[in-house]
Amino acid sequence: MLRASPVISRVVNLPQGAEVEARNWVPAVVVRGISATGHESVLVQGLELANRTLDLLAMGGVATLALADVWSCHGAWWPTAEATVIRIWSSAALSMKIQATAVVRGSDGAVCLPGTAISSGWHASMRYLRMSEITDDLFDTFRNVYLALGSLTIPG
């Protein structure tokens, strides 16, 4: 599967004897001519050949395309001695939302009202920490946490 549908149709013949086809408005590529004997080998070879084709299309100025997460949806087929095996794989991610409440007490045991514990002092590390919590990109999360820690200075 592709992240977006191409606006071109092409069949690319690769030196390995395989061919990869992309069709106009179909968000997938088909890789043919792989000599593999199982699901994993078909998937590994297919991914490599599909990516090589997408590289060639991009470098040729034809289209800039990217594969979607292949483990969420793909189809594969290969011959065995008994029959041709066809495997269609599809998975879905489940997201959950959890809500909790808490009571914050001061050192004297009294309940602190919401908002009373917020400090008015701002530090640059706060921005980095917040940005690390709201991004969907794991690399960006790590980068912002690293910048938050790096922006802290130890008085000395």
DSSP symbols for 35-96 = --SSHHHHHHHHHHHHHHHHHHHHHTTS----B--TTTEEEEEEE-SS-EEEEEEE------
Would you call 120 helix, strand, or coil by DSSP? coil
130 pLDDT higher than 60: yes
Predicted local distance difference test score (pLDDT) of residue 108:
87
From CA 105, how far away is CA 141, in angstroms rounded?
31
In 3D space, the residue among 38, 39, 32 whose CA is nearest the CA of residue 18 turns out to be 32
From CA 43, how far away is CA 75, in angstroms rounded?
9
Of all residues in the chain, the percent with pLDDT exceeding 90 is 31
What tens digit of pLDDT does each residue of 65-114 get?
Answer: 999 888 788 899 888 889 989 989 888 877 778 888 878 787 888 887 76
From CA 52, how far away is CA 12, in angstroms rounded?
10
Predicted local distance difference test score (pLDDT) of residue 11:
93
In 3D space, the residue among 7, 54, 59 whose CA is nearest the CA of residue 29 turns out to be 54
* Residue 142 CA, distance from chain mean position: 16
Question: Residue 23: which pLDDT band, with cuts at 50, 70 and 90?
Answer: very high
Q: Report if pTM > 0.75.
A: no
